[in-house]
Structure 1
């Protein structure tokens, strides 16, 4: 976890204006989070921090590639990534997460570590089905072929058939009640 200290931004002494930071996200960064999803990578994260009296707004621009394992062949491959995201922090009485992109911190907080946010934004940018590039064209062709198959249709031929079906489907007990008028 010592390596993640490189991703801390000291906010206590920053003036109220925009600040720009650049972080390198390489294999050492991804090792800190385990290798279950992302095996490694080489990315550049440009972080713009807009600090005001009551709000910190982070804008992330992450570009590069990550190394993934193909779900079909279990081969490793590089997946290109270009992701933008935003995150806000406001000052309050206690440290807490208010929403996915909004946190609250106490005014005496000295630094913010953005390593987890960077990892999460990268993870959210990954596709659900991780396919080696040589399988992507095959997958697209299969999807195109699947669109030609008709699985279910509920179209009626005419309105008359629909009315006749309704009369045939009624319960005879309801007929007796209709005759009470």
Structure 2
């Protein structure tokens, strides 16, 4: 995969000190990575590069929204995301990215491409369980939610009566399971 030019930072000509880079990430960025979970994206990336004599320190801050589908209803909604990541770039004999927070570039390197770090930071900022806010607060009306309510198991009157006839000592033991 060929790196995108706007995410390549030539650090060899930069003065020692702090440098700021701003990126606006949209859906086309994720199409480049062939990632299709997002319907749309509007994410702002604030990258601060601190150049020292022997190493580089990068601080990524992201904030914005990604439009994703709910896991329960498949309804699209905007998920707010916000995250931060620090990366230290050091120089050595050969390229090494085995450590999450440390990147080692060869001594002759003159630029760094940050697109992969931005991509991973945004994708990992989205919650694993994607639930529409309307499902959580009960304001979303959907055919799928109605069907789920219709098909959900209900306690029959016979089952309720059977629960009343249980020895009360078992109820005390059941409390142990729920009192965690």
In structure 2, relative to structure 1, the CA distance for the partners of 1:121 and 1:72 (3 Å cut) is: same
Map of 1:178 onto structure 2 = none
Match of 2:84 in 1: 84
Number of aligned positions between the proteins: 144
Structure-1 separation of matches of 2:175 and 2:117? 43
Say if 2:81 is the partner of 1:56. no
Show CA shifts across 1:141-169 (max 9, x none). Answer: xxxxxxxx84638xxxxxxxxxxxxxxxx
- Equivalent residues in 2 for 1:22-171 (5 A)? 22-137=22-137, 150=175, 152=177
CA RMSD of aligned residues (A): 2.1
Gaps of 5+ in 2: 139-173
TM-score, normalising length: structure 1: 0.72
SS across alignment from 1:24: strand
TM-aligned CA deviation for residue 123 of structure 1: 1.4
Q: Structure 1's 150 and 36: CA in aligned 2 closer, same or farther, altered over 3 A?
A: farther
Unaligned runs of 5+ in 1: 139-148, 154-181
Shift of 1:108: 1.3
| In 2: Cα distance, 1:95 partner to 1:42 partner | 32
1:99 match: secondary structure: coil
TM-score, normalised to structure 2, is 0.72
